[in-house]
Amino acid sequence: MRIAMVSEHANPLAVLGGVDAGGQNVHVAALAAQLVRRGHEVTVFTRRDDPDVVTRLRAPAGYLVEHVTAGPPSEVPKDALWPYIGDFGRHLAVRWAYERPDVVHAHFWMSGVAAMAAAGPLGIPLIQTFHALGAVKRRHQGRSDTSPVQRIRAEERLCQQADHVIATCSDEVEELVAAGLQTDRVSVAPCGVDVRRFTPAPEPGDGRQRLVVVGRLVERKGVADVVDAMATLHGVELYVAGGPVRHALDLDPEVQRLRHRAKAAGVLERVHFMGRIGHADLPSVYAMADVVVSVPWYEPFGIVPLEAMACGRPIVGSAVGGLLDTVVPRVTGELVPPRRPDILSAALRDLLADAPRRAAYGAAGVRRVRRHYTWERVAADTEEVYGCVAADAVAPVAEAVR
C-alpha cells in the first residue's frame, strides 16, 4: 500500500527529550519503519522547523519524510501551531491530488484536521490516532491547559468524520466513545518496543539503590511526586533523564522547580538530572535502575514503562491511561494513584527491600513485552486496519461501476 502518515509537530527524525518530542515521535518512526519492512511505501508529512532541512529525505529505515512549510521554519510549541494548520492541509491537498495515497494515518488532532481537509474531498480514507485527548488534558490541567480552544470540538468532529480511529489503550476507547465515536469504528493498537535494542540487563549490584525516571520534564509527568517520595527513601538515589541538554539544565525552569522541591524535601544531593538522552542510549539508563518510576497525572499511553520492562526492570507507575494495560500489578510492577507521593514512597520502599520480587517482576515484564508489544505485532495490527478501511472505501466505487 501507499501510506501517508501526518505528524505535524512530532517529526520522526527529531531528537527526543524536549517539551514536545517524546512518545509520538517514537511511535511514528517505529511504525513507519516496520510498515516499510512489511513491503509498504510510507511517507511521513511533518512541519518544517528548520530552514536548512531538505524538503524530502529518506530515513535510514526506508520511509520518506516530507517537511511541509506551514508557519515559520523554526521551533514552535505545538499548542501554538493551530494558525498554520490550514496551510499544512492545503499542502497535503496539492500533494495527494497528483500522488494519491491508499490510506492516510493522522497522528494527533491537528494532523487530523489538516489530513481531513485534504483527504475528504479526494475520497481518501482517513485513520486517526490522537495520542492524547483535549478533554482529558482539560480535566487534569484546568486553566493551565494551553491547548487551542478549538481542540475538543475538532476532536469530536474527527470522531464523527474519520473512517476509523486507532486508540492506543482501552482507557482511551471509553473517552472516544464519550466524544461521539461509534464502537464499530475504533480499534486498539498500542505503542511498541524495539526488543532488539531494549534487552534485559542485570542489576548494577554495587550496593547502591537507584530509581530512574525517563521522560519530558513537564509538570504532568509527576517527577515532583517522585522527588517528594524520596524523603522517606533513605540512601536511595534518583536519576532523571530528560529535558534540555546537560549544559542547559541550570537554565531550565522545570529543573529549577524540581531542584527547589528536592531541597525542601532534604534530598537535593540524591537527585541527579541527566539531561536529554538519545533514544539509542536509553537502554544503558534503564540498566542503572533497581526500579523505574513512571507516575504521570494522566498518560495517553506511556512508552517508558514498556521500554523499562523490555530491559527487565520492575515498574512503579500511576494507575492511569495506558499504564492500566501495560503494567500488571504484582506481576510486572505496581500501580499507585497519581499525585500521591506518600503511597508511592511506601510502594517503592517495599519493592526496594525485596530483591527476589524485583527480579521476578523484571523477568515477567520481558515476557509480556515480547508477547504483546513488539513493533512487529503493532504494525501487523495497524496494517489490518488499513486493509479493512481501504477495502471499505473501494467497495462503494466498485458497486457504482457495476
Upper half-sphere CA count for residue 97 (Cβ side, 13 Å): 9
- Check residue 16 and give its pLDDT: 55
Query: In this structure, how many other beta carbons lie within 10 angstroms of the beta carbon of residue 283?
Result: 18
Rounded to a whole number, what is the largest CA-CA distance in the chain? 76
- Domain spanning 209-372: which superfamily? Glycogen Phosphorylase B; (3.40.50.2000)
Domain range summary for the chain, segments of one domain joined by +: 2-192+375-401, 209-372
CATH topology of domain 2-192+375-401: Rossmann fold (3.40.50)
Q: Is the fold of 2-192+375-401 the same as that of 209-372?
A: yes
Spatial neighbors of 263 by CB under 8 A, at least 6 apart, are none
pLDDT at 15: 60
**Quick count: other Cβ atoms within 10 Å of Cβ 353?**
10
Nine-digit cell at 348? 517503592
pLDDT of residue 357: 98
> ∠ at Cα 15 (132, 307), nearest 5°?
60
d(CA 215, CA 294): 9
Nine-digit cell at 372? 504483546
Show the cell assigned to 286.
534503564
**Mode of pairing for the β-strands spanning 315-318 and 333-336:** parallel
Contact at 8 Å (CB) between 347 and 131?
A: no
As a whole number of angstroms, the distance between CA 59 and CA 64 comes to: 6
What is the identity of the amino acid at 10? A
CB 239 within 8 A of CB 282: no
| CA 4 – CA 314 distance, rounded (Å) | 37
Of the candidates 121, 102, 39, 108, the residue with the CA atom closest to the CA atom of residue 78:
108
Task: Going residue by residue through the chain, which has 402 residues, state the pLDDT in tens, using 9 for 90 and above.
Answer: 999 999 999 999 986 545 445 678 989 999 999 999 999 999 999 999 999 999 999 999 999 999 999 999 999 999 999 999 999 999 999 999 999 999 999 999 999 999 999 999 999 999 999 999 999 999 988 888 999 999 999 999 999 999 999 999 999 999 999 888 999 999 999 999 999 999 999 888 788 999 999 998 989 999 999 999 999 999 999 999 999 999 999 999 999 999 999 999 999 999 999 999 988 899 999 999 999 999 999 888 889 999 999 999 999 999 999 999 999 999 999 999 999 999 999 999 999 999 999 999 999 999 999 999 999 999 999 999 999 999 988 755 445 445
**Are 88 and 47 contacting, i.e. CB atoms less than 8 angstroms apart?**
yes
What would the grid cell of residue 160 be? 464523527
- pLDDT tens track for 190-204: 999 999 999 999 888
Residue 393 to residue 256: CA distance in whole angstroms? 52
At residue 149, the pLDDT reads 95
